[in-house]
Amino acid sequence: MNNKVLIVGAGAIGGFYGGLLAKAGADVSVVCRSDYAIVKQQGYRIESHALGSWQFMPNQVLRQASEYQGQPDYLILCTKVTPDIDRVALIRDAVTPHTTIVLIQNGVEIEQEIQLAFPDNLLISGLAFICCNRLAPGEISHLAYGKLILGNLSEIDEPKTQYLRDLFLRAGIECLVSADIVASRWQKCVWNAPFNPLSVLSGGLATQAILQNQENFVRRVMQEVCTIAEACGHPLPANIVENHIALTRDMPPYKTSMLLDFERGHTMETEAILGNAVRAAQRQGVDCPCLQSLYVLMQLRELQIRSNSLLN
């Protein structure tokens, strides 16, 4: 039995997936900082269009990983990936030799830092395709989607990865194990790389308006990401750009996660999504001028936000 799960970063996404694992019978605890008081008292209330509503009462509700009682089988890290979050420090005190570390996080090339810090632990890299919001402390609204893709960086079939997938499936959410999770990350980046920064830099346009007005540019940025992925040894399906465009056209007008972070004054995942992609391109000698332009502009935008907040 691999039943003890610790979620670190239990906001909307961490709380939602933790709640699913608890539904599936796992012993789930959470480290949550901003909503600690409420969650400690009454757990999470999860409202899902697809899966109904339920109460999720974590076994342990903690302020930090060091307070965890026991040895987690899975430590699932669900924070954003931003320069102001030290992911290794956040989880170090709860990682035991047999703990499997699971990342449910955005971006490309975000695994190395964790691998280097915990070279002997099994690492599962995971991607969430989900639309869910925190309505209030401890209140999560799951609006749409929810699919998880999990994978190991080695190409070995890992029983602990299969087991985790089965827990998620039992809870009623789509979950699959990818033989090339790194390629899956690049595939997601193909969408994120244009739409996330364009939504912020345009001053708040939704995906529909961006696509309707600048489809050629969106396609070019997407194609640059495909070229980088291929240069990194992870060629993407030939139809990926076409598929992403078609899917976006069929989506309702959508605010990207980066735009939501921007509007809330939160740090954005510029480095995890754009910075890491551009650095990979530079390492491989690939030119990606449009992606680079977006990265440059996001860095200047963030510089301006920081200098504004210093003035206030």
Choice from 40, 131, 133, 217 touching its own copies (CB under 8 A): 217
Nearer to its own copies by C-beta: 205 or 240? Answer: 205
Applying CB under 8 A, the span of 14-22, 23-31, 181-189, 209-217 interacting with its own copies comes to 209-217
- What whole-number distance in Å separates Cα of residue 79 and Cα of residue 53? 24
CB 79 within 8 A of CB 107: no
- Confirm or reject binding of residue 201 to its own copies (CB under 8 A): yes
Q: 283-312: which residues touch its own copies (CB under 8 A)?
A: 289-290, 292-294, 296-297, 299-301, 303-305, 307-308
Q: Rounded to the nearest whole angstrom, what is the least distance from the CB of residue 217 to its own copies in the complex?
A: 4
CA atoms within 13 A on the CB side of 62: 22
- Confirm or reject binding of residue 254 to its own copies (CB under 8 A): no
Q: Rounded to the nearest whole angstrom, what is the least distance from the CB of residue 213 to its own copies in the complex?
A: 6
Q: Rounded to the nearest whole angstrom, what is the least distance from the CB of residue 207 to its own copies in the complex?
A: 12
Choice from 210, 240, 258, 274 touching its own copies (CB under 8 A): 210
- Token representation of residue 181: 């999770």
Q: Rounded to the nearest whole angstrom, what is the least distance from the CB of residue 290 to its own copies in the complex?
A: 5
Size of the site for its own copies (CB under 8 A): 27
Q: Rounded to the nearest whole angstrom, what is the least distance from the CB of residue 210 to its own copies in the complex?
A: 6
Q: Rounded to the nearest whole angstrom, what is the least distance from the CB of residue 277 to its own copies in the complex?
A: 15
Q: Is the dihedral of CA 177, 141, 264, 193 positive or negative?
A: positive
Q: Rounded to the nearest whole angstrom, what is the least distance from the CB of residue 205 to its own copies in the complex?
A: 5
- What whole-number distance in Å separates Cα of residue 108 and Cα of residue 272? 6
Q: Is the dihedral of CA 83, 106, 274, 214 positive or negative?
A: negative
- Confirm or reject binding of residue 220 to its own copies (CB under 8 A): yes
Choice from 198, 228, 229, 258 touching its own copies (CB under 8 A): 198
**Residue whose tokens read 């709860």:** 94
Q: Is the dihedral of CA 106, 193, 113, 266 positive or negative?
A: negative
Q: Rounded to the nearest whole angstrom, what is the least distance from the CB of residue 198 to its own copies in the complex?
A: 6
Nearest to 220 by CA among 168, 292, 163, 151: 292
Applying CB under 8 A, the span of 14-22, 115-123, 170-178, 204-212 interacting with its own copies comes to 204-212
- Confirm or reject binding of residue 203 to its own copies (CB under 8 A): yes
CB 21 within 8 A of CB 28: yes
Nearer to its own copies by C-beta: 51 or 209? Answer: 209
Choice from 2, 42, 214, 284 touching its own copies (CB under 8 A): 214
Binding mask 2-41 for its own copies (x = CB under 8 A): ----------------------------------------
- What whole-number distance in Å separates Cα of residue 117 and Cα of residue 91? 10
Interface contacts to its own copies, rule CB under 8 A: 198, 201-205, 209-210, 213-214, 217, 220, 289-290, 292-294, 296-297, 299-301, 303-305, 307-308
